[in-house]
Amino acid sequence: MIKRYLMTPGPTPVPEDIMLLMAKPIVHHRTKEFKSVFKDTRELVKSVFQTKNDIAIFASSGTGAMEASVSNVLAENDTALSVAAGKFGERWGQIIRAFGANPVELSYEYGDFAKVEDIQKAIENNPKIKAVFMQASETSTGVFHPIDEIGLMLKEKFPEIVFVVDGITAIGAIDVKTDLWNIDIMITGSQKALMLPPGLSITSVSEKAKNMIAKTKNRYYYFDILKELASDGGSYTPAVTLIYGLNMALKKLLDEGLENVFKRHTLLAEATRAAVSSLGLELLAKKPANSLTAIKTPVDSTKVIEYMKSFGVDVSNGQGSLKGKIVRIAHLGYFDKSDILMAVSTLEMALKSSGVEFNFGAGIKKVMEIFLNEQ
């Protein structure tokens, strides 16, 4: 008998009351009742996104919204800057190419973060650049990019450029100020800090982005952002149960208070990072995000993950060349202090069982000290 603790950076655990709400009988999507919930949900999204921009909700994964932002903003042969410091950053380049546009790819080592001056230089060197595509937090490495500085630099130096940010593991976990930071298109998915099952992408779209989309032609039908924005209950059949779940999840976040939500994520992230340091281990991220922690393991991380799984704890391996080298522990969404106690104690046992020499018990003790002082 093993209880399950889902600590992967998506999907993440779903609160029981949201699960039960989503088990209620299906409402038809072209009814007043549903349209009113849909409208209310879009308003709640704006609060959580910290934006006044319009909200598009697609039945898709987060990648669907990444595609929508590329195919709607870029025409064939258009040029865009894509910033990559991990697997999801690289995905921007792949999508841009798939839609016949030209990515200028600014690449960093895995674990590194984007520098505002590099982006400025890249745009100065490529005046054709119409849009910048990047992540807020890079889920494959646990890095948080300085999207605040980048957004403000773009606003000042290149006011025509559309700034597209994948906030899939940032929104609802990290204090990301969409409007203040000049983010034209902000994207998230349901299965991260919004505490829902996978199946929804949520995107905010600025007036500037809408104008660029209106002037642009490319190939898309389902991911028609303007059509979705103009609809009063989804351009095509919306994922009704997930919309109800999203409505409740957003209310939960706003009831807790966004400031408290960010504080909670900061506490959990800081405790995890302090434990890593107490164990004599290193983080992968040079500028770590508060939504997940990627830890370099001195032994094959696949074994570490396997051992943690025997305690019911599901954490993630590295992707691509990082496979076997890191463990990624999520703490975004429906996570509390108990999850960090579980994650760190099982990580320690896993390392010990793999023969790593370290001060056994030091990590969990550090976590307990931090929680004790915070209480």
Q: Which residues bind its own copies (CB under 8 A)?
A: 1-3, 5, 256, 264, 307, 310-313, 334-339, 341-342, 345-346, 348-349, 352-353, 360-361, 364-365, 368-369, 371-372, 375
Task: Output the smallest distance, CB 266 to its own copies, in A.
Answer: 14
Nearer to its own copies, 108 or 335 (CB): 335
Q: Which is nearer to its own copies, 1 or 214 (CB)?
A: 1
Nearer residue to its own copies within complex by CB, 2 or 214:
2
Instruction: List, in order, residues 6 or more apart from 145 with CB less than 8 Å away.
Output: 83, 85, 113, 114, 134, 135, 136, 137, 138, 287
Of 226 and 274, nearer to its own copies (C-beta) is 274
In the complex, the smallest distance separating the C-beta of residue 162 from its own copies, rounded to whole angstroms, is 35
**At closest approach, how far in Å is the CB of 173 from its own copies?**
12
Q: How far apart are CB 304 and its own copies at their closest, in Å?
A: 13
CB nearer to its own copies: pick between 274 and 368: 368
Bridge-based pairing of strands 54-59 and 326-330 is unpaired
Q: Which is nearer to its own copies, 136 or 313 (CB)?
A: 313
166 neighbors 136 (Cβ within 8 angstroms): yes
- Closest approach, Cβ 331 to its own copies, in A, equals 12
User: What is the Cα–Cα distance from 270 to 268, expressed in whole angstroms?
Assistant: 6
Report in angstroms how near the CB of residue 242 gets to its own copies at its nearest: 20
What is the number of other CB atoms lying within 10 angstroms of the CB of residue 300? Answer: 14
DSSP 17-54: HHHHHHTSPPPPTTSHHHHHHHHHHHHHHHHHHT--SE
Nearest C-alpha neighbor of 315 from the set 325, 307, 327:
327
Residue partners of 34: CB distance under 8 A and separation at least 6: 27, 28, 233, 240, 243
